[in-house]
Amino acid sequence: MKRFGRAFRRAEAGQTMAYVALAMVALLALAALAIDVGLAYSTRRHLQNAADAGALAGAQALCAGQGADGARAAALKYALANNAQTADVTVAQVGRGGSVSVVARAAADTYLAGVVGLRQVNVVADAQAVCGPVSSGQACGIAPMAFPYQQWQQVKGQCGREFIIIDSDKVCGRDVVCDLNNGDRGWLDLPHVDLNLYDTPCVQSCGQATIRCYLENDYPAPISLPACLRAQPGVAASNFRRVGDFRGRIMRVPLYDRGCSWPGDPPVEGSCGGQSAYHVVDFGCIEIVEGGQGLPKPPPGGDTDNSVKWLKARVSCSADCYRGCNSARQAGGDAGDVLGIGMLR
């Protein structure tokens, strides 16, 4: 009887050891899974950076006018340079912009899960970026010269279409975009910029000198839409003539639909004391052709009115309509749109 009891206890101890061994294997497998899942997650985080970088580079190439092939090459280059082992790139052109989707892949080695036969895990990350109009985003490099949004719609989308901007309301016709409200001038007193953040030669003061400097050098800080931008009253003929000297220059200009006085309008931006402000809803991209003075009077006069100063511009579809600090939220864009890039996912 004693022998039987001792044998039973030995058998029981053997079973316990077997259970302990199985439990240790299970615990080791769980530990391996936890550690290697963490490593795979870290790999995916880095791989997401690769997908994001590729998508943004491709969207930037679209905005720069490099086409689908250029966008695809740029996206692939940047994804691989950021540790993706392979990447699939899809480019969909829409108007002057489009979207770029990147699916980045990499195999992550396992360290402990190999004991159960899992030596690698495949990690995937995807991203999509767009090149499109900044009508719902923000833009920098803007000229302090506002145009009427409604009249801009007459010429927008017609690449190279020439039109005349006049500095009074005396002559309006098929090829004329009349400047602002009944002869008001669209000069903008934009907010003074922090010179520690933005490099500009323009002195931060009120008056036409600063406006003229921003006409020559562009306003460096971003403007988010919609915006209420303070207006500078007066004819400012010297500024008008200065713009006429910029033959061939690409200018990104604010487009306003009304004055700022409605409930819910954003706060008025501007560092100087003008009373009026424009409600800016979009930006337009133009190329200055030339400036002059004197336009034919409307019929029945038919004579020349030499008091009218004018600018001739054209709707631009140049790659200079894109600036790196511009942001967009949808793909596409027509001639004359200021373009930017943005992430969709």
Please report the pLDDT score of residue 272 as a whole number: 83
Name every residue whose Cβ is closer than 8 Å to that of residue 60 and which is 6 or more positions away in sequence: 74, 131, 322, 324, 341
Q: Which residue has the tokens 């669209």?
A: 186
Least confident of 146-150, 276-280, 293-297: 293-297
**Residue 345 pLDDT greater than 70, yes or no:** yes
Mean pLDDT is lowest, of 116-130, 136-150, 165-179, for 165-179
pLDDT, residue 206, reads 85
Whether the per-residue pLDDT at 17 is higher than 80: the answer is: no
Q: Give the pLDDT band (50/70/90) at residue 191.
A: very high
Q: Could you tell me the pTM of the whole model? A: 0.81
Q: What would the mean pLDDT of 289-316 be, rounded to a whole number?
A: 76
Q: Under a CB-based contact definition with an 8 Å cutoff, are residues 173 and 154 in contact?
A: no
- Report the C-alpha gap between 89 and 99 in whole angstroms: 10
For the packed helices 208-217 and 237-244, what is the interaxial angle rounded to 10 degrees?
Answer: 10
pLDDT at position 8: 44
| Model confidence at 114: pLDDT above 60 | no
Cβ atoms of 55 and 102 closer than 8 Å: yes
Q: Is the pLDDT of residue 174 over 50?
A: no
Integer Cα distance of 79 and 59 in angstroms? 13
Say yes or no to pLDDT of 23 above 70: no
Residue 179: band (very low, low, confident or very high) from pLDDT cuts 50, 70, 90? very low
Mapped onto helix, strand or coil, the DSSP state of residue 40 is helix
Peptide bond into 300 cis (omega under 30): yes
Rounded to an integer, what distance in angstroms lies between the CA atom of residue 55 and that of residue 125?
Answer: 12
Alpha helices in 91-176, H assignment, sequence order: 149-152
Identify the three-state secondary structure at position 289. strand
Distance between CA 300 and CA 258 in Å, rounded? 32
Q: For 234-264, write each residue's pLDDT tens digit.
A: 667 778 888 889 999 999 999 999 889 899 9
Mean pLDDT of all residues in the chain? 83
Residue 343 in contact with residue 100, Cβ under 8 Å? no
- Indicate whether 184 pLDDT > 50: no
Which value, to the nearest 10 degrees, does the dihedral of the CA atoms of residues 256, 258, 264, 267 take? 60
Q: Which residues contact 189 (CB under 8 A, 6 or more apart)?
A: 144, 206, 210, 211, 229, 230, 231, 232, 270, 271, 272, 274
- The Cβ-side half-sphere exposure at 47, using a 13 Å CA radius, reads 22
pLDDT higher than 70, residue 116: no
Average pLDDT over residues 113-122: 62
Beta strands in the chain (DSSP E): 86-94, 97-109, 120-133, 138-139, 147-148, 162-166, 176-178, 223-224, 227-230, 250-259, 268-269, 277-296, 304-315, 322-327, 339-343
